[in-house]
């Protein structure tokens, strides 16, 4: 079977699909991954473009600004980006690709990549979405349903089942979160392994929103209370972090599963992929949200007693206090471990693949 995985070309959109794409490749299916040349050789299958060359985030944001009619509506911006502007580029790109190479048998697209679902529907190709948010799939569909609609009605969803009890009924295929990193990601040599004390993973994700001061504060305050600190951030300007303690290890891109297996706490931005990867490994979290869906993600985890929130405006020492709090809070750690056990019982990517292709 020929299967196309389709994501907008950004880490948080691409990487959640990778474990399922790898399962398809290992099962002998012909796998293509529509993303961008940046990901060539780093994903399962042949990487093709999901948008035309030269279309970048800045261009999409400029066009989206003209589509926002109510600046006071907090949902207007994501609706313009994902429901209106990006489909205009994705749909013709996939049409041209399929015209040249033939149609796939199945399209799996991340939920914000509406254009891939539209292109599949136009071509008569079966498609399923993959939820890359912590919101219910029905909410995501309504949020990004734009001028071309949202034809995909079945969604692969990595959220734990206990989080989905109030979801509207609909086609939901649960899948176990499997944190994934490509072969270029570093496996840090843990600094000061002889020192006793907690190990911390600090990241503001692959889109840091220019938050250099926030990252520096997080790193320094983490280093005050943890004896081993690994800091990752492809979008971060490490040169501007200044002098850091010797037990802080910097990497642009890390092997996240490897790091989380060794981490006692994670301090991060609240991106969905990082949240779920930490829960998969049973790692308590301190969240400093910067943008996009990170604020509602942080609120959700705090409400469920799984994390502490440290906003950008927090006073000095708030981050280190939050880290100590999650490390010492046995009830929180038990709740985190309960979610870890729940995730471990969800269908694996191999099992979901068999559902899709059987």
pLDDT of residue 204: 67
The alpha-carbon radius of gyration of the chain (Å, integer) is: 20
In this structure, the number of other CB atoms found within 10 A of the CB of residue 147 comes to 10
For the stretch 98-149, pLDDT in tens is: 999 999 999 999 999 999 999 999 999 999 999 999 998 888 888 888 777 7
Topology of domain 199-343, CATH: Rossmann fold (3.40.50)
pLDDT of residue 121: 95
Do residues 127 and 116 lie in contact, with contact meaning Cβ atoms separated by under 8 Å?
yes
Rounded to whole angstroms, the Cα distance separating 298 from 295 reads 5
pLDDT of residue 192: 53
Residue-averaged pLDDT of the chain? 88
Cross-strand pairs, 130: 110, 156
pLDDT of residue 337: 97
pLDDT of residue 163: 92
Do residues 8 and 16 lie in contact, with contact meaning Cβ atoms separated by under 8 Å?
no
pLDDT of residue 207: 47
Lowest mean pLDDT among 85-99, 137-151, 308-322: 137-151
For the stretch 34-52, pLDDT in tens is: 999 888 888 999 999 988 8
pLDDT of residue 65: 84
Non-local (6+) Cβ contacts of 8 within 8 A are 14, 35, 50, 51, 82, 86, 90, 110, 112, 113
Residue 176 above 70 pLDDT? Answer: yes
pLDDT of residue 298: 94
Q: Do domains 2-175 and 199-343 have the same CATH topology?
A: yes
Non-local (6+) Cβ contacts of 168 within 8 A are 136, 138
Question: How much is the average pLDDT of 51-64?
Answer: 79
Lowest mean pLDDT among 29-33, 73-77, 190-194, 279-283: 190-194
Instruction: Copy the structure tokens of residue 8.
Output: 């907008």
Q: Where are the domains of the chain?
A: 2-175, 199-343
Which CATH homologous superfamily contains domain 2-175?
Answer: Glycogen Phosphorylase B; (3.40.50.2000)
């Amino acid at each position: 079977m020929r299967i196309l995985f389709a994501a907008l070309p950004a880490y948080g959109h691409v990487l959640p699909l990778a474990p399922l794409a790898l399962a398809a490749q290992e099962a002998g299916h012909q796998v293509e991954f529509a993303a961008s040349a940046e990901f060539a050789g780093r994903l399962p299958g042949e990487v093709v473009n999901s948008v035309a060359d030269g279309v970048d985030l800045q261009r999409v944001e400029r066009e989206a600004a003209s589509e926002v009619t109510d600046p006071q509506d907090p949902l207007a911006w994501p609706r313009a980006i994902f429901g209106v502007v990006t489909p205009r580029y994705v749909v013709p790109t996939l049409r041209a690709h399929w015209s040249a190479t033939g149609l796939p048998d199945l399209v799996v697209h991340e939920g914000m990549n509406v254009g891939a679902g539209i292109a599949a529907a136009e071509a008569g190709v079966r498609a399923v979405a993959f939820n890359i948010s912590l919101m219910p799939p029905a909410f995501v569909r309504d949020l990004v349903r734009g001028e071309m609609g949202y034809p995909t009605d079945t969604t692969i969803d990595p959220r734990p089942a206990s989080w989905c009890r109030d979801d509207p009924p609909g086609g939901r295929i649960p899948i176990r979160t499997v944190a994934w990193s490509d072969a270029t990601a570093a496996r840090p040599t843990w600094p000061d392994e002889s020192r006793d004390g907690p190990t911390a993973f600090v990241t503001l994700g692959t889109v840091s929103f220019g938050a250099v001061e926030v990252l520096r504060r997080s790193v320094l305050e983490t280093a005050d209370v943890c004896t081993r600190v690994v800091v990752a951030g492809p979008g971060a300007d490490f040169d501007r972090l200044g002098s850091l303690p010797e037990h802080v290890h910097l990497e642009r891109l890390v092997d996240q599963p490897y790091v989380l297996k060794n981490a006692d706490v994670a301090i991060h931005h609240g991106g969905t992929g990082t949240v779920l990867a930490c829960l998969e490994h049973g790692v308590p979290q301190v969240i400093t949200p910067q943008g996009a869906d990170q604020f509602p993600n942080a609120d959700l985890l705090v409400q469920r007693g799984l994390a502490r929130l440290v906003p950008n405006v927090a006073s000095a020492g708030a981050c280190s206090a939050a880290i100590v709090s999650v490390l010492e809070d046995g009830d929180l750690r038990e709740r985190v471990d309960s979610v870890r056990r729940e995730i471990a019982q969800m269908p694996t990517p191999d099992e979901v693949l068999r559902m899709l292709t059987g």
